[in-house]
Amino acid sequence: MGFTVTKISEGPVKPASPTPSPTLPLAWVDRYPTHRGLVESMHLFKSGTEPAKVIKEALAKALVFFYPLAGRIVEPEPGHPAIECSAQGVYFAEAKADCSLEDVKYLDRPLLISKDDLVPYPKSEDWGVEPHNTIMMMQVTTFTCGGFVLGLRFNHASADGMGAAQFIKAVGDMARGLPEPLVKPVWDREKFPNPKIKPGPLPELPVLSLDYIILDFPTDYINKLKSQYMEHSGKHCSGFDVLTAKLWQCRTRALNIAPESEVKLCFFASVRHLLKLDKGYYGNSIFPVKMTATSEKVLNSTILEVVDIIREAKERMSVEFFQFAKEETDTDPFQMTFNYESVYVSDWSKLGFVDVDYGFGKPMFCGPLVNNDFIASVVILKAPAPFDGTRMLASCLTKEHSEEFVRGMKHME
């Protein structure tokens, strides 16, 4: 059965009161070419009274504090994008679905409603701003029998995942009647290093046909692996560490490539602690953590030994970051290689989206909507309630290799 989503209203939401109007330069990492795009995500709530009205009014109030997000990305100097604080507003749409969340299985995969109906895609005549210059778009879709979905498109040039979540939590603070956000925003982009290193060329993207795989891991299983790692090394590790080690090993086995072939793993880590940034900083503050090993090395190691490889890379990251910051390297650390032997992992579990509350309680689920056929990628996030555990959204293997990967990942002894 097909379901329909009908748009009820759309247009800009501007700050609720006058705001400053400077043009603010972005940080080096904000300006990175691959960050100039809209990241799509879905935030699912089981109930809510007039959520579109509540969130729209709260959004206007939050933009008074986060006024740069009501502006536009401009390039006063080619190659140096900045934010013009024009107060032109955030695109906001209200929509209604002709079904209940239960009818569409609470939007679990595979989606029974197109993602394009859940996140805003305004027509050019309704929104005369190119997507790469738009900072944010929001859509609230209500369902029969209660419940709603907030579809968000947030420009990575204006904030990283933690920064985007900070803003959305501020909207929740306003919705709950607070006079100001619990965490006040600071711009402070000048505190991120601004070396003379120029970004490398955009990488070539392979054309792949990747399976979309969902895997859930109980908290008890993750804790067991963490305890085993403590016995192995005498050190703590995170749930992210053990699950990433497991996926790298299982994926490498599924690839079935020559022992001497190199496999690569990359994820981005926050460097807020290294820069001692104010907790209100909401710009990009990330740095890549990269590791390379032979297929033989990954396969002949235990999962705990693969965790060692990951943790060693994490420890190297601070040294590599300060080399970048102090211009002690001529290499662009953000330059990526998108071949089939490389996999990219994102951790959404601790960004803060799961803590957002508009007065209706915290979300049942939130996570990214975008998946593609040219980057082998995995997202780790909190599993939907009521399941107690972690979900992995994997788009990292073709059909030829995905069955072996799933078999290995589901082995939890």
Alpha-carbon span 311 to 264, nearest angstrom: 15
Peptide bond into 12 cis (omega under 30): no
Establish whether 330 is a catalytic residue. Answer: no
Establish whether 355 is a catalytic residue. Answer: no
Look at residue 343 and give its three-state secondary structure: strand
Identify whether the C-beta of residue 55 lies closer than 8 Å to the C-beta of residue 172.
no
Alpha-helical (H) ranges within 25-75 are 51-65
Alpha-carbon span 343 to 70, nearest angstrom: 35
Identify whether the C-beta of residue 150 lies closer than 8 Å to the C-beta of residue 95.
no
Of these residues, 35, 43, 156, 401, which one is catalytic?
156
Identify whether the C-beta of residue 53 lies closer than 8 Å to the C-beta of residue 13.
no
Look at residue 198 and give its three-state secondary structure: coil
Single-letter amino acid, residue 253: R
State residue 194 phi and psi, 5-degree precision: -130, 60
As a whole number of Å, the end-to-end CA separation of the chain is: 40
Closest CA to 1 of 94, 96, 105: 105
* Burial of 246 from C-beta contacts in 10 A (0-12 / 13-18 / 19+): buried
- Any idea what DSSP says for residue 374? S
Expressed in percent and rounded to 5, the helix, strand and coil fractions of the chain are 30, 25, 40
Identify whether the C-beta of residue 346 lies closer than 8 Å to the C-beta of residue 396.
no
Of these residues, 188, 211, 216, 357, which one is catalytic?
357
Q: What pairing do the DSSP bridges indicate for beta strands 80-84 and 389-395?
A: unpaired
Identify whether the C-beta of residue 136 lies closer than 8 Å to the C-beta of residue 153.
yes
Single-letter amino acid, residue 401: H
Identify whether the C-beta of residue 392 lies closer than 8 Å to the C-beta of residue 243.
yes
State the catalytic residues: 156, 357
